[in-house]
Structures are given as C-alpha cells and as structure tokens.
C-alpha cells in the first residue's frame, strides 16, 4: 500500500473508534464549556434539556444575575441560584443539596454531565435548544379566570 493509501486508511479508521465508545466515554474527553461562554450563551435565555430523546427540563437564566428557574417534566418548578466550583457548575435548589454538572461540547452538541464529589457520573442531559422561552413557577395565568366555587 502506498503512503497515500496508508494515510487514507488511518483517517477512515478514526470515525470508527468513536462509534465504539459510549457517549459517557466520549464526553470524558470532551472539552468543558467555560463560565464566560455558558454565561454569554444563556443570559436571558432558557436551556431545554433532553434525556433519552425526551424533553426533561426547561431552565431559564435571568440576565445579569445567578438566578435560574427550572421546570422539570412539567411537574416540578423551582427558583434557584447557580455558581462555579472550580470548572463545575453547581445549582442550589430549595431544600436540596447542590447539584453539580460539567457543561461539555461534543462536536456541534452540548451535554451536561452530573458531577458528584468531583467525579463525573452517568447522569447525562443533552441541550437541544437555547432560546427566549418563558419559564415561571406558580399557577397558570388562566387560572385567575376560573370562577370561584361558592359554598
């Protein structure tokens, strides 16, 4: 095989190597997104996460603050704060221990990987959208239009 053929064979082999790796293994080597980049991407925006192809949560970042609102699976809705612990993003939600994650870029995709005691876990969420979608905790606005029950 000539030199060009050898180089072509090696290049063709590289994509096969990544197919043999699990997503978790690929993300272990993926670069973390910096604080500045994440802040710039999310300020005044809502991040939409999915797990296994299903929308998991909407997380709205308030511009100029460290405050967030999260709606999980249309059931849980909480107001919290976020901060950096080294290169890891941590979130404080009322009544819970901090939840920490690494935000990673894998090709054109962004993933969020859970971190416990400084070690990445198999808790992986994919960011499917960052957009100005409103998220608010509390009763739906149309509930104010419902007639009151009389005793």
Q: Distance between CA atoms of 109 and 106, rounded to whole angstroms?
A: 5
For the chain, give every domain's residue range. 31-137
**What pLDDT was estimated at residue 20?**
82
Per-residue pLDDT averaged across 42-56, rounded?
Answer: 97
d(CA 150, CA 19): 63
Helix (H) or strand (E) holding 9: helix 3-20
For residue 135, which of 57, 56, 38, 53 has the smallest C-alpha distance? 57
Angle (CA) 147-148-151 rounded to 5° is 135
pLDDT in tens, 132-150: 999 988 765 554 444 444 3
Residue 3 pLDDT > 70: no
pLDDT for the residue 141: 52
CATH number for the 31-137 domain, one of 1.20.140, 2.40.128, 3.40.50, 3.30.310? 2.40.128
Other C-beta atoms closer than 10 Å to the C-beta of 30 total: 19
Highest mean pLDDT among 1-5, 72-76, 137-141: 72-76
pLDDT for residue 139:
65
CB 46: neighbour CB atoms within 10 A? 21
Rounded to two decimals, the pTM is: 0.78
User: According to the model, what pLDDT value does residue 9 have?
Assistant: 38
Look at residue 49 and tell me whether its pLDDT is greater than 80: yes
SS3 content of the chain, % helix, strand, coil (to 5): 25, 45, 30
Token match 């970042």: residue?
A: 61
Would you state the pLDDT for residue 136? 82
23, 42, 86, 88, 103 from 37: Cα distances, Å: 23, 9, 15, 13, 10
């Amino acid at each position: 095989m000539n030199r060009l053929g050898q180089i072509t064979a090696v290049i063709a082999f590289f994509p096969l190597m990544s197919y043999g790796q699990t997503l978790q293994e690929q993300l272990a080597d993926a670069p973390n997104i910096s604080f500045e980049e994440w802040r710039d991407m999310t300020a005044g925006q809502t991040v939409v996460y999915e797990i296994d192809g299903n929308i998991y949560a909407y997380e709205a970042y308030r511009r100029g603050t460290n405050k967030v609102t999260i709606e999980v699976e249309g059931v849980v809705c909480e107001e919290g704060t976020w901060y950096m612990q080294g290169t890891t993003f941590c979130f404080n939600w009322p009544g819970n221990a901090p939840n920490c994650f690494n935000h990673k870029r894998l090709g054109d995709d962004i993933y969020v990987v859970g971190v416990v005691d400084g070690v990445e876990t198999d808790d992986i969420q994919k960011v499917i959208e960052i957009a100005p979608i409103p998220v608010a905790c509390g009763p739906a606005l149309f509930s104010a239009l419902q007639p009151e029950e009389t005793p």
